[in-house]
Amino acid sequence: MTIHSFETPPVETPKTRRFSASEKRLINCETVDVNQLMPIKYHWAWEYYLTGCANHWMPSEVSMAKDIELWKSNDLSPDERHMILRNLGFFSTAESLVANNITLAIFRHVTNAECRQYLLRQAFEEAIHTHAFHYIVESLGLDEQEVFNMYREIPVIWAKDAFEMELTGAMLDPSFRTDTPAGAQKFLENLIGYYVIMEGIFFYSGFAMILSLHRQNRMTGIGEQFQYILRDETVHLNFGVDLINGIKAENPEIWTPGFQERIIKLVHYAVELEATYAEEVLPSGLMGLTAPMFREYAQYIADRRLERIGLPAQYGSANPFPWMTETIDLAKEKNFFESRVTEYRSGATLVWDD
Ligand code: MN
Ligand code: FE
């Protein structure tokens, strides 16, 4: 329908039929209305959306007082400061890369309303994560130019981000489509590059490094924010895995042996990028953590991620940080965040200024 005149409202009834949930598809489903959430087909996507909302948090709820005191004291070694700064540098822009990829690359090609509902929630969570890094930088009085420019200036950070930005770039061509096998594979490569590699592998060294400090009761404000972020990222990763496996199941012809080989190669490359990152961030080891342990950790994590998308484990490495599993499980528990200070407003308590 075209609106010819704004003076005469159209009176015709749209003659389209109602659709059933079974007609919905994750990609390439232009025939079903993407504006209509109900009827739901992919209940997992809706559940992730509800979980994301239940996990809501804001950076400013976390007190940075003890961190400020410690940062200004002489009780942090130069190596510890370097490790903290590098991780702030990496995450402060990595979160924006993820948000931009969701809104500019993924959203357009996912033709399902309940997945889009989750993607909108996830995009907001990425904005909160970027906000968290701004809040930390501001609280500690760090040089924001230095921290937010690290992704262009520090080669081990740039290498990871350049790898990701290339995956986003490939989707930005207006003529890009997912309705050819090559196009659908390119899109799946983007999803794996972000959900499995960026959020599932690249984020985990930083989580382990910062949470090691937190385990020693140091920089606990940053540590608490990392726990919130880790909790969110666990949901992002789970959604991503379900989306990837769902697209594979609906489009089995794209999951060719050659494509599987390509994904395994990308993961090997990502593990090398992560190991190189750890060498620069921990040149002489810290708190019993050494760069070789992070290579092992990246390998261990990569094996777990590969298995979840139906690909064979590559390394067989042991987990050098078994306590991280416990930390992730704890983060999923409801009462873990006892220091929450804000109750979110419910409808009954809203007051309107008029
Ligand atoms: Mn994030
Ligand atoms: Fe995320």
pLDDT in tens, 166-178: 999 999 999 999 9
Helices 113-140, 78-100: inter-axial angle, 10-degree rounding:
150
Q: Average pLDDT of 57-61?
A: 96
Give pLDDT, residue 11.
Answer: 75
Nearest ligand by distance to the CA of 91? 1
pLDDT exceeds 50 at position 334: no
Residue 100 has a pLDDT of 98
Q: How far apart are CA 315 and CA 312, in angstroms?
A: 9
Torsion of Cα atoms, 228 then 320 then 280 then 66, to 10°: 40
* Rounded percentage of the chain residues whose pLDDT exceeds 90: 85
Percentage of residues in the chain having pLDDT higher than 70: 91
Residue 272 has a pLDDT of: 98
Ligand number nearest CA of 122 is: 2
* pLDDT exceeds cutoff 50 at 341: no
CA of 102 to the centre of ligand 1 (A): 11
pLDDT(201) > 90: yes
Residues known to be catalytic: 135
Is the predicted pLDDT of residue 127 greater than 70, yes or no? yes
Strand partners, 325: none
Q: Which residues, at least 6 apart from 165, have a Cβ–Cβ distance to it below 8 Å? A: 97
User: Ligand 2 centroid vs 199 CA: distance in angstroms?
Assistant: 6
Measured in Å, residue 96 CA sits from the centre of ligand 2 at 10
Please give the distance, rounded to the nearest whole angstrom, from the Cα atom of residue 231 to the centre of ligand 2: 10
pLDDT classification of 6: cutoffs 50, 70, 90? confident
Q: What is the helix (H) or strand (E) element at residue 163, kind and residue range?
A: helix 155-172
Contact predicate 201/301, CB 8 Å: yes
Q: What's the CA-to-centroid distance between 229 and ligand 1, angstroms?
A: 6
C-alpha closest to that of 147 among 169, 130, 164, 162: 130
Of 189, 174, 171, 180, nearest in space to 28 by CA: 180
- Confidence bin at 206 (pLDDT 50/70/90): very high
**Span 255-275, average pLDDT:** 98
Compute the average pLDDT of residues 257-286: 97
In this prediction, residue 5 carries a pLDDT of 65
**What's the CATH number for 64-339?**
1.10.620.20
DSSP 254-305: G--HHHHHHHHHHHHHHHHHHHHHHHHH-TT-BTTB-HHHHHHHHHHHHHHH
Q: Note the ligand closest to the C-alpha atom of 96.
A: 1
What is the reported pLDDT for 3? 61
Confidence (pLDDT) at 203: 97
Where along the chain do its domains lie? 64-339
